[in-house]
A and B are shown apart, each in its own frame.
Chain A
Amino acid sequence: MLSDHTVSILIFAGIDVIMALSFYLPASAGQLSAGQGGFMALGAYTAAYLTVQYGVPFPIALAAGGMIGGLVGLAVGFPALRLRGLYLVLVTFGFGEMVRVLFLNAPAFGGPGGFAGIPPATTVWHVLGLLIVLVYFFTRLSGSRMGRAFAALRDDEAAAEAMGVNSTYVKLAAFTAGGVIAGLGGALYAHYTLFIDPEAFGVGRSLFVMLYAVFGGLASFWGAVVGASILSVLPELLRWVKDWREIFYGVLVLVMMLVRPQGLLDPALLARLSLRGERVAARG
């Protein structure tokens, strides 16, 4: 069996992948969010509050976390409709900070002292199960009507509108779905760490989530999966350098972004991989 240590690495890496996918979804429609930590906080606190205060069964609390993430994602989507690029990044960043400060000042949720006594519920299977559903969803999305609308909106919004895409609807859908995924990630996180405080979901979290997806490459959702997996496990692999660990981590990320600014999985590499897959399939 897996050791507790390995299980914890897997669970945290899995949650990081879920979070990176929550960033990737709106990003694939051209909507860059620097506030995914905020949605994660909402999911985490909602689910934890339900299980602790009301003894709600974990699956229901998990769904509630995702739902609140989605509702707030929809609400954030509206002001975001008028904004693009850097301005959108700033507004979503502001949203993330707002959520953090909100929980900091909410005694019912433990305030700065954090929220403790959450029952252990998240297992590696929950995380893996959600990941499988997400990977299935994203594989099917890329060849679907909405997936194409996302890509079109990212490439050229005015042309997409002229071709019949309701950009308002598509953007709101992207933000909502990103919020749902981040909310689920937060709920899973809370029921594994068993203690949450607002600082766990601050700017740092949002930026790392963004880094995972960008590091892996935004050309495909696999980029978010691969990027988050590598960067999440990397600190474990760097234990041997001891005190230099964070510097090593930073330098590795820096070098990688200099060598491959388009991310690990760029369109050319994806095309090669999918061609090889087809050749294998043709042979078999």
Chain B
Amino acid sequence: MSASLLAVDGLTRTFGSLVVLSKLDLTVEAGQIHAIIGPNGAGKTTFFNLVTGALAADSGHISFDGRQIDGLPAYRRTALGICRTFQNIRLFGSMTVLDNVLLGLHCRTHGGLLFPLLGVPFRPAKAEALARERAHEILELVGLALRARQAAIELPYGEQRRLEIARALASAPKLLLLDEPSAGMNTQETLELEVLIEQVNRRGVTILLIEHKMSLVMKLSRTVTVLNFGQKIAEGPPALVQRDPRVVEAYLGTE
């Protein structure tokens, strides 16, 4: 058995009187592709928000890479190696494709506000040149190298999703959280996405995937966790989970 990268223990979050996530225990093993599925409103995205630090948990603990990360702000968690994409694409609209990826490198590069005044005039700083090189490599990987100088919002939908992945990869995550990466994609784009996710995983990035397309979940993931009304109702290899009566009930209802 491999070591766990992310361990969540009794995680609970409420919005007013609505319990969105209730005492969730979950372990993600290093190197895996782990899928989280469940009907709308099951608490999947809230779970991502709690892990990345966008929201604070009411109770429970999260440890990452052997370290308790409760209460750490989002940017610190990114620096530790947790990064995500968003369900409703949230690229930086005023920036180019390349700049979006470069922004992802923020926590892996240095240079404060006075940095622009230092260095040789009229020549980009060395650190900046290195960052650009790295950003181009990542764009190459996701197949957007030729788009580098375009405005991010000009890209077609499927490519915007790939750019979100590229931006997250730039932060060199150990754990990458993908929130419905195939949403709105056609069959061809979904197939390309599948290849990309496998490629990223093979580079040693552990992946936590929220996904509605079962074909993708079945092919990619080794473990599936099923959430319903904020609780874990099943967990295991995809083939087993798919046949679990509680899962069938959650999706289709009972007679």
> Interface residues, chain A, CB within 8 Å of chain B?
133, 136-138, 140-141, 143-149, 151-152, 154-156, 158-167, 173, 177, 219, 267
Contact B113 A155 (CB under 8 A): no
Contact B94 A155 (CB under 8 A): yes
- Point out the residue from A136, A161, A166 that lies within 8 Å of B121, measured CB to CB: A136
Q: Tell me the smallest distance from the CB of B200 to a CB of chain A, in Å.
A: 17
Instruction: Provide the residues of chain B in CB contact with A143, threshold 8 Å.
Output: 124, 128
Chain A residue with Cβ nearest B171? A164
Q: Tell me the smallest distance from the CB of A277 to a CB of chain B, in Å.
A: 14
Chain B residue with Cβ nearest A28? B94
Q: B50-64: contact bitstring with A at CB < 8 Å (1 yes, 0 no)? A: 001110000000000
Chain B interface residue count, Cβ-Cβ cutoff 8 angstroms = 42
Q: Does B115 belong to the interface (CB within 8 Å)?
A: yes
Contact B90 A156 (CB under 8 A): yes
Distance A156 CA – B110 CA, assembled complex (angstroms): 22
Contact B92 A151 (CB under 8 A): yes
Main secondary structure of the interface of A (DSSP, over half): helix
Q: Which of B5-13, B23-31, B79-87 contacts A (4 or more CB under 8 A)?
A: B79-87
Contact B95 A148 (CB under 8 A): yes
Instruction: Provide the residues of chain B in CB contact with A146, threshold 8 Å.
Output: 111-113, 115-116
* Residues 58-103 (chain B) with a chain A CB within 8 angstroms: 73-75, 78-79, 83-84, 86, 90-95, 99, 102-103
Contact B54 A158 (CB under 8 A): yes
Q: Does B199 belong to the interface (CB within 8 Å)?
A: no
Q: Tell me the smallest distance from the CB of B123 to a CB of chain A, in Å.
A: 10
- Point out the residue from A148, A154, A162, A167 that lies within 8 Å of B54, measured CB to CB: A162
Q: Does B193 belong to the interface (CB within 8 Å)?
A: no
Q: Does B1 belong to the interface (CB within 8 Å)?
A: no
Contact A145 B131 (CB under 8 A): yes
Instruction: Provide the residues of chain A in CB contact with B230, threshold 8 Å.
Output: none
Instruction: Provide the residues of chain A in CB contact with B79, threshold 8 Å.
Output: 164
Chain A residue with Cβ nearest B92? A155
Q: Does B107 belong to the interface (CB within 8 Å)?
A: yes
The 3 A-B residue pairs with the shortest CB-CB distance, nearest first, are A164-B107, A140-B116, A164-B78
Ordered by A's residue number, 19 sampled pairs between the chains whose C-beta atoms are within 8 Å are A138-B116, A140-B116, A140-B117, A144-B125, A145-B109, A147-B116, A151-B103, A156-B90, A156-B93, A160-B92, A161-B54, A161-B73, A162-B78, A163-B83, A163-B171, A164-B106, A164-B107, A165-B103, A267-B94
Contact A166 B75 (CB under 8 A): yes
Q: Tell me the smallest distance from the CB of A168 to a CB of chain B, in Å.
A: 8
Chain B residue with Cβ nearest A271? B151
